[in-house]
């Protein structure tokens, strides 16, 4: 490692501000070493310094950049764009644009972070209205990247292919899989299933010579099975699939808690099985997968969950560092260039005309 | 009860044919009494009679209609339409059309069942390309009806409103809720979120004077919370949400089984807590919610899962009986008539123009 990787942090973002961001840096250093990584912390210098005093490992690799201004968690994106200049969130992104930092991490308001990131960094994928968000989804085989999970409400075939390109590079960089497999989410696995956008995206991925390991269509239950490394879908479907899954997971854990506290015998059994149940809990610990990069920007920005704890924020930092180190942006821009060169292939008149049940 | 309710059964459908269908009738009678209900069983008379001989309660209320012909579980819908005439599936639907039966139940091939039902019975909702399927989803508050979960790949605003009307009547008939609440599935709960189809559907439901208890937009995690009784969505999103949820539930139960058998101590704890875990399992038993009606037809057709057991098939029968008894078809056709009268309201130029993040 020659020159250090600089990660810019919005120290005031999220529900807890510096009291999670600074311990998050310390947690990152403890778990991942963090050799050759330094941090810029944007926000209230007094509050940040007070936290740094309690975390000497973080203190050694952090520089503080003071600002009084903060984007509120409930501020509307349009308002944040107009009034957010000079805030901790804004400055964290601005240093990426200026080349002073390799990536930014914020647990701030998602809408504001997307709007300000887009305003400052601009989109690199020309078809995208706004950055795509990728979710790291725990599966039977490890982790699957699912995108978009909420930013782009409607996506045409070309955008779906852009998601495939970005998701592949993300998974490679962060999960260390050399040749991630890619699937397009659909209502069936046969070629003629689904609406025109997914069929056309599948055709480009299959025939476009983009060099991705394209698996084919996958269905909803393939996500948790881990059938492929990267699942591509429009932001509407992806957001609903993700929140539906969160709802189901919470439903089952509520039922389980109720069952295991329902009477004395159940409580005794639960007590005895507790070490095993705890190990299981670790496999679906949200902190271990926290950190959703905003993809499609000219720069690396990672969104941490607003309520994440230090371990979760530390994981979001790890994702930012992995993306910064991996040459992710170069790889994506190279592949987006190859996609643009395919233009003639994407004419909709080539699309198969059969409907879902023919 | 004056004249009996007649339910027509495709005795050859599903993975097990008469060996599940006949015990399914017996299970229905045992759990739900079945007073005033009689059955027509379509299929191989010898095989059906052999099963009936083992189930005297079923024998007393069943008439057998012989046919040699069967639609295979893997037959393509187009082929089934051409060659299916006279099959057990076809005849079960035909008796509904002829007024000899009040409803049909089949565990046969979904695509064939939909195509043949549509061909024989015709759609009652003019905007629908094919029948909508409703899923009964277990929630913290009971059961929520989610539709469409797979039949219609693209749905405009009017179709979403038709789903709301059909879902409300279904939930009322089958789950006995007098005034079910209805929500439209979206990526956020604010009025300006989502694409034009959902915003326009929401506007018609809110302002159209259809008399439904319209709650507003709901998100993916609201399904398992049971926020509303009926969740309306297009068939693409609904199918993916349902299969994603099934995948997550299977993932968690696999992890749990692995955890609770991982060592001796865990096995002991699981053994002691087993009665409580079994009670929990009953709350999410797929047999207890099996049976998805095909909505939007001029007649009642209920699809049972191909792999359902006798208890599951019995529940599909219960749903068919409840729909037949409730005046479901009259109610839906009355409300679809009111929707048609609203036509001028549905002009897209009235739709709000804001996008998801304004």
Please check whether residue A250 is in contact with residue B271, taking contact to mean a CB–CB distance below 8 angstroms: no
Confidence grade of residue B175 (pLDDT, cut at 50, 70, 90): confident
| Over residues B194-219, mean pLDDT | 91
B1 pLDDT higher than 50? no
| Over residues B180-198, mean pLDDT | 88
* Per-residue pLDDT tens digits for A3-36: 899 999 999 999 999 999 999 999 999 999 989 9
pLDDT of B106: 96
Q: Residues near A343 by Cβ (< 8 Å), separated by ≥ 6?
A: none
pLDDT of B227: 97
Please enumerate, as own/partner, the contacts of A66-69 that have beta carbons within 8 Å and a separation of 24 or more. A67/A42, A67/A43, A67/A91, A68/A44
Sheet holding B292-295, edge to edge: B62-66, B37-43, B5-10, B103-106, B300-303, B292-295, B132-139, B142-147, B230-232, B181-185, B213-218
Query: Quick one: which of A60, A340, A93, A105 has its CA closest to A208?
Result: A340
* Per-residue pLDDT tens digits for B103-151: 999 999 888 999 999 999 998 877 777 889 999 999 988 899 999 997 7
- For chain B, the maximum distance between any two Cα atoms, rounded to a whole number of angstroms, is 69
Contact A357 B242 (CB under 8 A): no
Sequence-ordered strand ranges (E) for A204-358 = 213-218, 230-232, 292-295, 300-303
Which of A333-342, B72-81, B88-97, B205-214 has the lowest average pLDDT? A333-342
**CA separation for the pair A117, A17 (Å, rounded):** 19
Instruction: Find the helix packing angle between B196-207 and B157-175, rounded to 10°.
Output: 60
3-state secondary structure of B215: strand
Q: What is the chain A residue with the closest CA to B236?
A: A187
| Tokens describing residue A205 | 């991925």
Using CB atoms, pick whichever of A78, A114, A277 lies closest to residue B358. A78
Using CB atoms, pick whichever of A77, A139, A244 lies closest to residue B223. A244
| Tokens describing residue A230 | 């990267």
Give the count of beta carbons closer than 10 Å to the beta carbon of residue B43: 27
pLDDT of B24: 97
**CA separation for the pair A151, A131 (Å, rounded):** 6
Give the count of beta carbons closer than 10 Å to the beta carbon of residue A169: 26
Chain A partners of B357 at a C-beta cutoff of 8 Å? 77, 111, 114-115, 130
CA atoms within 13 A on the CB side of B207: 12
From the CA of A225, how many Å to the nearest CA of chain B?
7
Using CB atoms, pick whichever of B139, B255, B356 lies closest to residue A283. B255
- Asked whether the bond before A148 is cis by omega within 30 degrees of 0, the reply is yes
Chain B partners of A139 at a C-beta cutoff of 8 Å? 251
What is the CATH architecture of A126-295+328-358? 3-Layer(aba) Sandwich (3.40)
B348 pLDDT higher than 70? no
Cα dist from B107 to A10, B9, B36, B301, whole Å: 56, 9, 23, 11
Contact B244 A247 (CB under 8 A): no
- Interface pTM, i.e. ipTM: 0.85
Give the count of beta carbons closer than 10 Å to the beta carbon of residue A333: 14
Cα dist from B331 to A244, B166, B172, B295, B323, whole Å: 31, 9, 10, 13, 11
Tell me the DSSP string of A139-208.
ETTEEEEEE-SSS-SS--HHHHHHHHHHHHHHHHHHH--SS-EEEEE-S-SSTT-S-HHHHHHHHHHHHS
From the CA of A58, how many Å to the nearest CA of chain B?
36
Cα dist from B114 to B43, B77, B111, B236, whole Å: 19, 8, 5, 16
**CA separation for the pair A137, B248 (Å, rounded):** 10
| Tokens describing residue B303 | 């699809």
Residues in chain A: 358
* Per-residue pLDDT tens digits for A86-106: 999 999 999 999 999 999 999
Say if residue B342 is exposed, middle or buried (CB neighbours under 10 Å; 0-12, 13-18, 19+).
Answer: middle
Please check whether residue B166 is in contact with residue B330, taking contact to mean a CB–CB distance below 8 angstroms: no
| Over residues B48-57, mean pLDDT | 96
Query: Phi and psi (nearest 5°) for A143?
Result: -135, 135
Regions of chain A where pLDDT drops below 70: 1-2, 343-358
Q: Residues near A103 by Cβ (< 8 Å), separated by ≥ 6?
A: A5, A7, A8, A96, A299, A300, A301, A302, A320, A321, A323, A324
**CA separation for the pair A228, A217 (Å, rounded):** 10
Say if residue B298 is exposed, middle or buried (CB neighbours under 10 Å; 0-12, 13-18, 19+).
Answer: middle
Confidence grade of residue B352 (pLDDT, cut at 50, 70, 90): very low
pLDDT of A175: 85
Query: Phi and psi (nearest 5°) for B64?
Result: -100, 135
Q: What is the chain B residue with the closest CA to A79?
A: B358
Number of helices and strands in chain B (H, E): 13, 11
Query: Quick one: which of B203, B357, B230 has its CA closest to B295?
Result: B230
* Per-residue pLDDT tens digits for A154-179: 888 988 999 999 999 899 888 888 89
Q: What is the chain A residue with the closest CA to B244?
A: A220
B191 pLDDT higher than 90? no
**CA separation for the pair B287, B298 (Å, rounded):** 27
Using CB atoms, pick whichever of B129, B223, B260 lies closest to residue A273. B260
Q: Residues near B317 by Cβ (< 8 Å), separated by ≥ 6?
A: B7, B9, B24, B25, B28, B105, B291, B302
Chain A partners of B265 at a C-beta cutoff of 8 Å? 272-273, 275-276
Using CB atoms, pick whichever of B241, B250, B357 lies closest to residue A77. B357
**CA separation for the pair A151, A157 (Å, rounded):** 16
B200 pLDDT higher than 90? yes
Question: B134-290+331-353 has which fold?
Answer: Isopropylmalate Dehydrogenase (3.40.718)
What is the CATH architecture of A1-122+297-326? 3-Layer(aba) Sandwich (3.40)
Contact B221 A244 (CB under 8 A): yes
**CA separation for the pair B228, B144 (Å, rounded):** 7
Could you tell me the end-to-end alpha-carbon distance of chain A, in angstroms, rounded to an integer? 57
pLDDT of B185: 96
A131, A132, A155, A240: best to mutate for the B interface, most B CBs within 10 A: A240
Cα dist from A171 to A8, A166, B337, whole Å: 22, 9, 51
The more confident residue out of B335 and A5 is A5
Give the count of beta carbons closer than 10 Å to the beta carbon of residue A46: 10
From the CA of A355, how many Å to the nearest CA of chain B?
9
pLDDT of B134: 92
pLDDT of B2: 61
B204 pLDDT higher than 90? yes
**CA separation for the pair B70, A355 (Å, rounded):** 25
Q: What is the chain A residue with the closest CA to B280?
A: A259
Please check whether residue B218 is in contact with residue B189, taking contact to mean a CB–CB distance below 8 angstroms: yes
Domain limits of chain A?
A: 1-122+297-326, 126-295+328-358
Using CB atoms, pick whichever of A244, A271, A357 lies closest to residue B244. A244
């Amino acid at each position: 490692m020659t020159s250090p990787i600089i990660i810019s942090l919005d120290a005031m973002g999220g529900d807890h501000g510096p009291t999670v961001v600074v311990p998050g840096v310390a947690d990152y250093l403890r778990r991942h070493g963090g050799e050759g990584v330094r941090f810029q912390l944007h926000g209230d210098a007094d509050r940040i310094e007070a936290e740094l005093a309690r975390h000497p490992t973080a203190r050694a690799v952090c520089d503080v950049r003071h600002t009084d201004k903060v984007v509120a968690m409930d501020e509307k994106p349009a308002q944040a764009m107009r009034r957010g200049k000079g805030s901790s969130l804004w400055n964290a992104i601005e240093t990426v644009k200026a080349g002073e930092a390799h990536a930014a991490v914020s647990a701030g308001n998602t809408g504001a972070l997307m709007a300000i990131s887009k305003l400052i960094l601009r989109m690199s994928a020309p078809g995208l209205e706004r950055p795509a968000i990728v979710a790291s989804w725990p599966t039977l085989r490890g982790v699957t990247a699912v995108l978009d999970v909420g930013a782009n409400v409607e996506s045409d075939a070309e955008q779906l292919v852009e998601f495939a390109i970005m998701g592949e590079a993300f998974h490679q960089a962060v999960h260390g899989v050399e040749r991630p497999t890619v699937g397009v989410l659909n209502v069936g696995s046969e070629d003629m299933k689904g609406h025109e956008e997914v069929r056309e995206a599948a055709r480009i991925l299959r025939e476009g010579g983009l060099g991705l390991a394209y698996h084919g269509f996958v269905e909803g239950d393939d996500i948790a099975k881990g059938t492929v490394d990267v699942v591509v879908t429009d932001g509407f479907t992806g957001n609903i699939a993700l929140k539906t899954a969160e709802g189901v997971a919470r439903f089952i854990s509520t039922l389980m808690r109720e069952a295991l506290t329902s009477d004395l015998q159940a409580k005794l059994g639960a007590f005895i099985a507790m070490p095993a149940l705890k190990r299981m809990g670790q496999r679906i610990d949200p902190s271990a997968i926290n950190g959703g990069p905003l993809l499609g920007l000219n720069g690396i920005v990672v969104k941490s969950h607003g309520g994440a704890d230090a371990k979760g924020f530390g994981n979001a930092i790890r994702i930012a560092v992995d993306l910064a180190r991996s040459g992710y942006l170069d790889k994506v821009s190279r592949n987006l260039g190859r996609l643009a060169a395919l233009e003639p292939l994407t004419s909709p008149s080539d699309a198969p005309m059969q409907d879902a049940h023919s």
